[in-house]
Chain A
Amino acid sequence: MTRIKEKFAELDGKNQKALIAYIMAGFPNEKATLSTVRGLVKGGADIIELGFPFSDPLADGPVIQNASTISLNNGTTISKFFSLVKKIRKETDIPLILMTYTNILYHKGYSKFITDAKNAGIDGFILPDMSIEESKEYLKAAKNKSDTLFLISPNTSKTRIQKISKVSTGFLYLVAVYGTTGVKTGIKNYTLQAIKNVKKQTKGNIPIGVGFGVSTPDDVKKYIKVGADAVIVGSAYLKLIEKTPQNKLELKIALFTRSLKKQTILK
Chain B
Amino acid sequence: MRYPKNGRFGEFGGKYIPETLVPAIEELEENYLKFKDDKKFKTELDYYLKVYAGRPTPLYYAKNLSEKIGGAKIYLKREDLLHGGAHKINNTLGQALLAKKMNKKRIIAETGAGQHGVATAMACAALGLKAEVYMGYKDTIRQKLNVYRMNMLGCKVHPVKSGSKTLKDAINEAIRDWITNVESTYYLLGSAVGPHPYPVMVRDFQSVIGDEIKSQMKKINNKTPDCVIACVGGGSNAIGTFYPLIDTNTEMIGVEAAGKGLKSKLHSATLSAGSKGVLHGMMTYLLQDKEGQITETHSISAGLDYPGVGPEHSYYKDTKRIKYHSATDVEVIDAFLLLTRTEGIIPALESSHAIAEAVKVARKLKTSESIVVTLSGRGDKDVEEVQNYLNKHDKN
User: Among A58, A133, A164, which residue has its beta carbon within 8 angstroms of that of B15?
Assistant: A133
Select the residue from B19, B175, B275, B278 with max chain A CB neighbours within 10 A: B19
Query: Do residues A107 and B277 form an inter-chain contact, with CB atoms below 8 A?
Result: yes
Query: B96-104, B217-225, B290-298: which lies at the A interface?
Result: B290-298
Nearest residue in B to A105 (C-beta to C-beta)? B292
Query: Does B318 belong to the interface (CB within 8 Å)?
Result: no
Query: Do residues A78 and B291 form an inter-chain contact, with CB atoms below 8 A?
Result: yes
| Binary interface encoding of chain B residues 1-25 relative to chain A, with 1 for a CB under 8 A from any of its CBs, else 0 | 0000011000000111111101100
Task: Identify which of residues 25-58 in chain B touch chain A, using a CB-to-CB cut-off of 8 Å.
Answer: none
Query: Do residues B278 and A129 form an inter-chain contact, with CB atoms below 8 A?
Result: yes
Query: Does A91 belong to the interface (CB within 8 Å)?
Result: no
User: Among B6, B175, B286, B292, which residue has its beta carbon within 8 angstroms of that of A108?
Assistant: B292
Select the residue from A78, A150, A153 with max chain B CB neighbours within 10 A: A153
Select the residue from B163, B279, B281 with max chain A CB neighbours within 10 A: B279
Q: Hey, which chain A residues are within 8 Å of B14, CB to CB?
A: 133-134
Give the CA-CA distance A150 to B168 in the complex, in Å: 26
Q: Hey, which chain A residues are within 8 Å of B6, CB to CB?
A: 133
Task: Identify which of residues 127-160 in chain A touch chain B, using a CB-to-CB cut-off of 8 Å.
Answer: 128-131, 133-134, 150-153, 155-157, 160
Task: Identify which of residues 89-113 in chain A touch chain B, using a CB-to-CB cut-off of 8 Å.
Answer: 101-104, 106-108
Query: Does B249 belong to the interface (CB within 8 Å)?
Result: no
Give the CA-CA distance A53 to B279 in the complex, in Å: 14
Query: Do residues B16 and A102 form an inter-chain contact, with CB atoms below 8 A?
Result: yes
Query: Do residues A178 and B20 form an inter-chain contact, with CB atoms below 8 A?
Result: yes
Chain A nearest Cβ from B108, distance in angstroms: 14
Query: Do residues A156 and B19 form an inter-chain contact, with CB atoms below 8 A?
Result: yes
Q: Hey, which chain B residues are within 8 Å of A104, CB to CB?
A: 291-292
Chain A nearest Cβ from B276, distance in angstroms: 8
Give the CA-CA distance A180 to B179 in the complex, in Å: 7
Give the CA-CA distance A153 to B25 in the complex, in Å: 14
Give the CA-CA distance A125 to B1 in the complex, in Å: 34
Query: Do residues A157 and B183 form an inter-chain contact, with CB atoms below 8 A?
Result: no
Q: Hey, which chain A residues are within 8 Å of B275, CB to CB?
A: 107
Query: Do residues A102 and B278 form an inter-chain contact, with CB atoms below 8 A?
Result: yes
Q: Hey, which chain B residues are within 8 Å of A180, CB to CB?
A: 176, 179-180
User: Interface size bucket, B side?
Assistant: 35 or more
Give the CA-CA distance A150 to B95 in the complex, in Å: 31
Query: Do residues A58 and B176 form an inter-chain contact, with CB atoms below 8 A?
Result: yes
Contact A178 B180, CB 8 Å, known A107-B292, A131-B22: yes
Total contacts A-B at CB 8 Å: 105
Query: Do residues A150 and B19 form an inter-chain contact, with CB atoms below 8 A?
Result: yes
Chain A nearest Cβ from B372, distance in angstroms: 35
Select the residue from A72, A157, A175, A180 with max chain B CB neighbours within 10 A: A180
Please report the total number of A residues contacting B with Cβ < 8 Å.
39
Query: Do residues A56 and B172 form an inter-chain contact, with CB atoms below 8 A?
Result: yes
Query: Does A256 belong to the interface (CB within 8 Å)?
Result: no
Query: Does A59 belong to the interface (CB within 8 Å)?
Result: yes
Chain A nearest Cβ from B170, distance in angstroms: 12
Give the CA-CA distance A54 to B19 in the complex, in Å: 19
Nearest residue in A to B17 (C-beta to C-beta)? A131
User: Among B15, B181, B286, which residue has its beta carbon within 8 angstroms of that of A131?
Assistant: B15
Query: Does A183 belong to the interface (CB within 8 Å)?
Result: yes
Query: Do residues A58 and B172 form an inter-chain contact, with CB atoms below 8 A?
Result: yes
User: Among A57, A77, A153, A179, which residue has its beta carbon within 8 angstroms of that of B19?
Assistant: A153
Chain A nearest Cβ from B48, distance in angstroms: 32
Query: Does B246 belong to the interface (CB within 8 Å)?
Result: no
Nearest residue in B to A60 (C-beta to C-beta)? B176
Give the CA-CA distance A106 to B175 in the complex, in Å: 21
Query: Do residues A178 and B181 form an inter-chain contact, with CB atoms below 8 A?
Result: yes
Contact A155 B23, CB 8 Å, known A54-B293, A107-B292: yes
Query: Do residues A178 and B182 form an inter-chain contact, with CB atoms below 8 A?
Result: yes
Q: Hey, which chain B residues are within 8 Å of A55, CB to CB?
A: 163, 293-294
Contact A106 B277, CB 8 Å, known A134-B16, A153-B20: yes
A-B CB contact pairs (8 Å), 28 listed: A55-B294, A56-B163, A56-B169, A56-B279, A59-B18, A59-B176, A59-B179, A101-B278, A103-B277, A103-B278, A103-B292, A106-B292, A107-B275, A107-B288, A108-B292, A128-B19, A129-B17, A131-B19, A133-B6, A133-B15, A134-B15, A134-B16, A150-B19, A160-B22, A164-B19, A178-B181, A179-B179, A180-B179
Question: Considering the complex of A and B, which 7 residue pairs feature the smallest CB-CB distances, nearest first?
Answer: A107-B292, A153-B20, A179-B180, A55-B293, A103-B278, A55-B294, A153-B19
Q: State the A residues within 8 Å of B (CB).
A: 54-59, 61, 65, 69, 72, 77-78, 101-104, 106-108, 128-131, 133-134, 150-153, 155-157, 160, 164, 175, 178-180, 183
Q: A61-B176, A155-B23 are in contact. List 8 more A-B contacts (CB 8 A).
A: A56-B294, A58-B176, A103-B279, A129-B16, A129-B18, A133-B6, A160-B22, A178-B183
Q: State the B residues within 8 Å of A (CB).
A: 6-7, 14-20, 22-23, 162-163, 168-169, 172, 175-176, 179-183, 275-281, 283, 286, 288, 291-294
